[in-house]
Amino acid sequence: MRVVIFTETFLPKLDGIVSVVCLLLDHLVEHGVEPIVVAPRLGDGIDEYNGVRVISVNGMTLPLYPELRVGPPGYNTYKELKAFQPDVAHFIHPVMVGIPGMIMAKRLGIPTLASFHLDLARLAQHYNLSFMTPVTDILTKLIFNWADYSLAPSNAVLQYMQSIGVNDVGLWKRGVDAEKFNPSHKNAAMRHQLSDGHPDAPLLLYVGRLSQEKQVDKLKTVVDRLPHVRLAIVGDGPERENLEAHFAGTNTKFMGYMKGEALSQAYASSDVFVFPSALETFGLVVVEAMAAGLPVVATRVGGIPDVVDEGVTGYTFNIGDTESLIDRVQRVISSPQTLQRMGLSARTYAETQSWPTMMDEVIEHYARLIAENRYHVASA
């Protein structure tokens, strides 16, 4: 089986979407599927990942997402795909790269699968561009209905897609590497660093992009109102400078971007994961934190309500409801027993969320679409 994957973002950029794409590629290679990637060129770009060839596309910067550079693939890309002879095309939220890619796939006569990863309509609302929402909804409906089948990352997104008229759509849940994110990575030196030299204080952790839609600024009220806690912020992004100024003088430590063993230690060495984001399609970092044994206090967006069991593995709250955020944090840290019980429950749940199982389902979709396409061709 040969698969071409079109994605709007890829290495060297690192985010939730790129993580999912890399995990998918690893799984495909491991199971004897031959993939190829079409992606925007960022910086010097890359030509290969885990033995998988990457066809780079030059592009322009997106105003609302300056870390990305996207543009349409051209005729040279089409020629390379034709030579590769893919059996199926998978589109990671088709926009600037994916839409022309879908035209190419239709031209090649191969089936198409589109997965939802970026809520553009809600992103426009967050940046006070609500007038764009109806247009974005229409385009989303048209694009995903153009594919032979679509996948949503959470029940909330699945319901949204169906509400705007996307027809054939299923669920592709997110998993977690329960070995990489594991309480066993707890490290005293890392906790000392995260807590800025106060390892005995309750330690809150945020991991993610530092951008407006993540609403990291809301966490300042927590450290102001609960002066005995410490907050560690892991990540980078366009709002980092503003946030550092906003949190100046508080019990907050900015750690910058972390990965690998350092990130695993950061999760496992904290007490509570706090996530006030206003916009998520799933919230991959939430399950990573749970796998590391952390109770979660997060906004009720994207796939978060699917994975957080209220009062058992954590709590959720409405976007912008800072009072509820503070109350939920207080509940979790109210006693060492509560913190331990909820952390164990979070870990137990995360152990059931295996990436291989989720990725096997994608391969099954590929095989089904290929079989259906061959049947239709033979019947024509």
Tens-digit pLDDT profile for residues 13-52: 878 889 899 999 999 999 999 999 999 987 667 899 999 9
pLDDT value of position 281 = 76
Q: What is the pLDDT of residue 156?
A: 87
pLDDT at 58 over 70: yes
pLDDT tens-place string over residues 62-108: 655 555 666 789 999 999 999 999 999 999 999 889 999 999 999 99
Buried b / exposed e along 307-340 (16+ C-beta atoms within 10 A): bbbeeebbbbbeeebbebbbebbebbbeeeeebe
Query: Which 3 state secondary structure label does DSSP give 327?
Result: helix
Q: Given this model, what pLDDT does residue 65 score?
A: 57
**Average per-residue pLDDT in the chain?**
92
- CB 24 within 8 Å of CB 269: no
- Judge whether 141 and 119 are in contact, CB under 8 Å: no
Q: With contact defined as beta carbons under 8 Å apart, do 114 and 147 qualify?
A: yes
Residue 62 β-bridge partners: 65
Quote the crossing angle between the two packed helices 336-350 and 322-332, to the nearest 10°. Answer: 100
Q: Are 310 and 331 in contact (CB under 8 A)?
A: no
Question: Which of 139-143, 186-190, 375-379 comes out lowest in average pLDDT?
Answer: 375-379
Per-residue model confidence (pLDDT) at position 102: 97
Residue 136 is predicted with a pLDDT of 86
pLDDT for the residue numbered 147: 97
Type of residue numbered 92? I
pLDDT at 69: 63
Spacing of C-alpha 128 from chain mean position: 23
> Which CATH architecture does the domain made up of 2-175+354-379 adopt?
3-Layer(aba) Sandwich (3.40)
Does residue 237 carry a pLDDT above 70? yes
The pLDDT > 70 percentage for the chain reads: 92
Look at residue 178 in the predicted model and tell me its pLDDT. 93
**Domain 183-350 in the same topology as domain 2-175+354-379:** yes
Residue type, 191: R
CA dist 369 → 54, 123, 146 (Å): 24, 31, 14
Q: For residue 93, what is the DSSP state?
A: S
Report whether pLDDT(125) > 60.
no
Residues 224-230, mean pLDDT to the nearest whole number: 97
Residue with tokens 């590769």: 84
Q: Measured in Å, how far apart are the chain's first and last C-alpha atoms?
A: 23
Long-range contacts from 256-264, C-beta under 8 angstroms, 24+ separation:
257/14, 258/207, 258/234, 259/14, 261/185, 262/190, 263/207, 263/234, 264/180, 264/181, 264/182, 264/185, 264/292
Per-residue pLDDT at 291 exceeds 60: yes
In terms of CATH, what superfamily is 183-350?
Glycogen Phosphorylase B; (3.40.50.2000)
Q: Please, how many CA atoms are within 13 Å of residue 137, restricted to the half-sphere of its CB? A: 14
Confidence of residue 120 (pLDDT cuts 50, 70, 90): low
Amino acid identity, position 78 = Y
pLDDT grade for 293, boundaries at 50, 70 and 90: very high
Alpha-carbon distances, residue 100 vs 96, 105, 292, 357 (angstroms): 7, 9, 40, 31
- In whole angstroms, how large is the CA radius of gyration of the chain? 21
CA angle (151, 154, 156) in 5-degree steps: 110
Cis preceding linkage at 40, omega within 30:
no
Q: Which two tokens stand for residue 213?
A: 């839609």
What is the phi/psi pair of residue 69, to 5°? -130, 115
126 has pLDDT over 70:
no
Mean of the pLDDT values across residues 237-245?
A: 96
The full set of domain ranges for the chain reads: 2-175+354-379, 183-350
Q: What does the pLDDT look like over 187-205, one tens digit per residue?
A: 999 999 999 999 999 999 9
